[in-house]
Structure 1
Amino acid sequence: MRFTTSSVFAPARSTAPTGAAGGLPPKRDLALAWVLVTLVAVPAWVLTVAQARAMGAGPGTMGTTLPLFLLLWVTMMAAMMLPSMAPVAVTWVRGIGRSSSGWARAIRTVEFVCGYLLAWTAVGAPVYVVLAGTGRLIADHPAAGHWIGLTVFLIAGLYQLGPLKYVCLRHCRAPMSRLVRHAGFRTPVRDLRVGVHHGAYCVGCGAGLTVVLVRLGVMNVVAMAGLAVVIFAETLWSRGPLLARFVGVAFLVLAALAPFQDWLLPGLRGSMPAMSAV
């Protein structure tokens, strides 16, 4: 399996000034970005695992309020998404304003990451509404969980194979040609706004993957780790688009099996009666 960041970094080389005085070498820039992302992603995984052990992977919102859910959601998204967006953050910060100091670039990287997470936080509210609705439906009609599982896997599979997925995936794999258009933003909020812009595309790219957490369990750590690997590979692996299609087909297969296989729906297990294949 060969991973590449050439599509991510090439635009920065062509748009950034060369030979800027005081600039850190690219390898040190990259190392600094990975350190910053690690300082966020590792604690996010630790908190997510600890919370998952306390809450389990039950249906619905598991009794959480919207503010608490949004806090858990953004923590989960930081754990899952930051590893795949780190190269984009460092490329943007190094390519725009390359003459700034190392610490200034570090601060700008943090702003970019905050904007990126804001985009994912905004998605948390509708996810909460969906979870609350499905939780109530399952409480009243336990057998509906099987068909909700079928519907979620079907939607996820069709989305993975649909055109919007690949519009967003193309951006996430080679984003700089679009991001440099925003170099004229005012500097106090420029990196935050660009982070939101990139995050919105990544929401579109990962929507089909994250929606399956509705049925696998929002606090299902194994599912989150698996999806994080898929997202990382889709974004940075040379055959990422092919993997995305493979995952889409796999979701359609799981949709066909979901009504008859309770083990595919750990987020609903224990809340619905078993069904047998006809």
Structure 2
Amino acid sequence: MTRTAITVRHRARDTGLVLLTAAAAWAWVALRRGDMGSGAMVGDLLAFMVTWTIMMTAMMLPATAPVASLYARTGPVHQAPRMIAFTAGYVLVWAAAGLPAYALAAGTNQVATTRPTAGTAAAAAVFAINGLYQLTPFKDFCLAKCRSPIGLLLRYASYRGPSRHVRAGAHHGAFCLGCCWSLMLLLAAFGVMNLWAMAGLAAIVVAEKRTPRGPLVARVVGLVSLALAITVFWVPQLAPNLTGGGMTEMRGLDGRGW
């Protein structure tokens, strides 16, 4: 077998392993959506963090699989453990993002259940924040790092110590968080456990990072989000989790009302 064939086989194996992990996370979300807590879910930080981490694993790993596979081949010897550690560091960053997400979920639940009018304004703010951020230079900067990570991979080659692969994954994850945090903010409007919203946002992330027109996709999403910030005042059902349109945060978390 030629060296090229071996490299292709290793790359396919590594990418497949990351994608298999994402698929398992999607399956967990789909199967457990009916019993992911009731009214106590927002009050249970640990349960929320576990759920959030699995959600982010499902949504973010498909777009990151090629980078993780490439990182596995940056050493002198091909090592799958290198890729696993890199992926773990990446997921840890998104897991940490669950803390502010938890605070936001608790706040949106309070707004949705007690002040529907304020919920519409909050939904408009969420859409506007995402729309504006999608058009900023910092979004472009982080997206560029995610789309062309070769420079970062060269930097990671200088990392030393037993945690170097995890650190590399966390560093890349930080750029990914900088690129996509405002998209995840939209879950506050749609519902944290809204499977359709998760699938749609995951598709946007893949399109931004892995397609030739990724930067254009980001701008279009930003403009659409700004349009939603205005439209939601006339069509509050666009943000069911905040406007009481059939799904509060609690119902979104336990999977009903999708």
User: What is the TM-score of this pair, normalised by structure 1?
Assistant: 0.82
Counterpart-to-counterpart distance in 2, 1:61 and 1:251: 31
Q: Does 1:48 align with 2:29?
A: yes
Q: 3-state SS of the aligned residue for 1:188?
A: coil
- SS of match in other structure, 1:147: helix
RMSD: 2.3
| 1:150-207 Cα distance to aligned partner (Å, 9 max, x none) | 0100001001111111110000000120232121222421110000000000001111
Matches within 5 A, 1:171-210: 171-210=145-184
Question: Does the CA contact (< 8 Å) of 1:139 and 1:271 recur in 2?
Answer: no
1:138 and 2:112 correspond: yes
Q: Distance in 1 between matches of 2:209 and 2:195?
A: 21
1:91 counterpart = 2:70: yes
1:275: which partner in 2?
none
Is the 2:42–2:48 Cα contact (8 Å) retained in structure 1? no
1:220-247 C-alpha deviation (Å, 9 max, x unpaired)? 0001101111100100111100010000
Residues 17-75 of structure 1, C-alpha deviations (whole Å, 9 max, x = no match) = xxxx999722112111122113311110011112333359x9x9843511111111110
Task: For 2:3 and 2:96, locate their aligned partners in 1 and report how far apart those are by CA, in whole Å.
Answer: 38
SS at match of 1:245: helix
2:255 corresponds to which residue? none
- The match for 1:167 among 141, 149, 160 is 141
* Segment of structure 1 superposing worse, 136-145 or 186-195: 136-145
- The percent of aligned pairs where both chains have the same amino acid is 42
Amino acid in the other structure paired with 2:150 = M
CA distance in structure 2 between the aligned counterparts of 1:249 and 1:160, rounded to whole angstroms: 8
Q: Report the 3-state secondary structure (helix = DSSP H, G, I; strand = E; otherwise coil) of the residue aligned with 2:127.
A: helix
- State the distance in 2 between where 1:231 and 1:174 align: 15
Deviations 1:79-122 (A, max 9, x none): 11111101101111202x1324xxxx211111011000001011
CA–CA distance in 1 between the matches of 2:32 and 2:241? 15
Q: Specify the SS of the correspondent of 2:237.
A: helix
Map 1:257-268 → 2, pairs under 5 A = 257-268=231-242
Q: Does the aligned pair in 2 maintain the 1:61–1:128 contact within 8 Å? A: no
Moved over 6 A (4+): 21-24
Q: TM-score, normalised by structure 2?
A: 0.88
- Separation of aligned partners in 1, 2:240 and 2:111: 17
Q: Which moved more, 1:197-206 or 1:39-48?
A: 39-48
User: When the two structures are aligned, how many residues end up with a matched partner?
Assistant: 245
